[in-house]
Amino acid sequence: MFQGKDVIVKDLRIKYYQSDVVNNDNVLVFLHGWGSQAAHFQKTLEKCSNFIAIDLPGFGGSEIPEKAWSLDDYADFVKNFLQKLDIKNPILAGHSFGGAVAIKYCAQGNEIQKLILIGSAGIRKKNIKKYIYFVMAKVFKLLFSLPGMQKLRNITRKMFYKAIDCEDYIDAGALKDIYLNVISEDLTNDLKKINFPTVLIWGENDMDTPVNNGKLMHQLIKDSQLHIISDAGHYVFLDNEKEFNEIFLAQI
């Protein structure tokens, strides 16, 4: 079953889902990616007997934070959420943005049984191409503020953000400031602090968090395992469900 529940954490109403019975001392806790929600992982979770999946603040059925949260804020939220439900030493799994939150949570010194990172975000490399585009974007912002040019503004903005792989910013809506905080932080040093059993699962065709990022995380996290799944992209658990589930379910 995939039971939906609500709880107040850090003054926010939070939607989460759980299995019929939850053993608080041995539970899988799943954190979804940016622009997603817990229900997108439902098919896999329903094969698990003991899980909790959270709609992170600002996504799914959970309320949006009043201020622009950072990854530290989201990690602190996870800590408060688990304390509220009296969950200790979970198996923590995160996809994409949820993986970055999980990395930060572990780096803060919180205890878990195992970490499972699925196409995780967290590696941020400086890109001269993006820098040039951002400079050009500022120039065009001035240009399109001129009378008669406003009609082209939205089209041009979308073209620019698509060119620099930042379409999520356009779609972020009220979460734009949070998005900027999240993508500005590189977690290389945090990854080095992780000393829990860690399994990384990546789609070989992932264009959002490339497989090279997974390989780098594998190098940075001591004694970690890396599984690369063929015929799959960023949503590896949907693209190659059978192979993903075989690997994922063996970890819990």
174 lies in some domain? no
Same domain, 48 and 137: no
Which sign, positive or negative, has the C-alpha torsion 187, 59, 14, 112?
Answer: negative
pLDDT of residue 106: 97
148 lies in some domain? yes
Task: Give the percent of the chain with pLDDT over 90.
Answer: 74
Query: Tens digit of pLDDT for each residue in 89-144?
Result: 999 999 999 999 999 999 999 999 999 999 999 998 754 454 445 555 555 555 55
Domain that holds residue 71: 3-125+179-249
167: left (phi over 0), alpha (psi -120 to 50) or beta: alpha
Same domain, 158 and 113: no
CA 68 → CA 96, 137, 169, 179, 221, distances in Å?
Answer: 19, 23, 14, 8, 29
Same domain, 22 and 95: yes
247: left (phi over 0), alpha (psi -120 to 50) or beta: alpha
Q: Read off the tokens for 129.
A: 């191409």
Angle (CA) 75-79-85 rounded to 5° is 140
**Domain count across the chain:** 2
Residues 6+ apart with CB under 8 A from 65: 10, 12, 57, 58, 73, 178
**For the purposes of burial, counting CB atoms within 10 Å of the CB of 100, is it exposed (0-12), middle (13-18) or buried (19 or more)?**
buried
152 pLDDT band (50/70/90 cuts)?
Answer: low
Query: Tens digit of pLDDT for each residue in 174-229?
Result: 788 898 888 889 999 999 999 999 999 999 999 999 999 999 999 999 999 999 99
Range list of H helices, the chain: 42-45, 71-84, 97-107, 128-143, 153-163, 167-171, 176-183, 188-192, 211-220, 236-239, 241-249
Same domain, 195 and 146: no
Same domain, 87 and 197: yes
Same domain, 136 and 224: no
Query: Tens digit of pLDDT for each residue in 48-100?
Result: 999 999 999 999 999 999 999 999 999 999 999 999 999 999 999 999 999 99
170 lies in some domain? no
- pLDDT (average), residues 154-168: 52
86: left (phi over 0), alpha (psi -120 to 50) or beta: left
172 lies in some domain? no
pLDDT of residue 167: 52
Quote the pTM value.
0.84
Stretch among 7-11, 148-152, 164-168, 196-200 having the lowest mean pLDDT: 164-168
Same domain, 194 and 120: yes
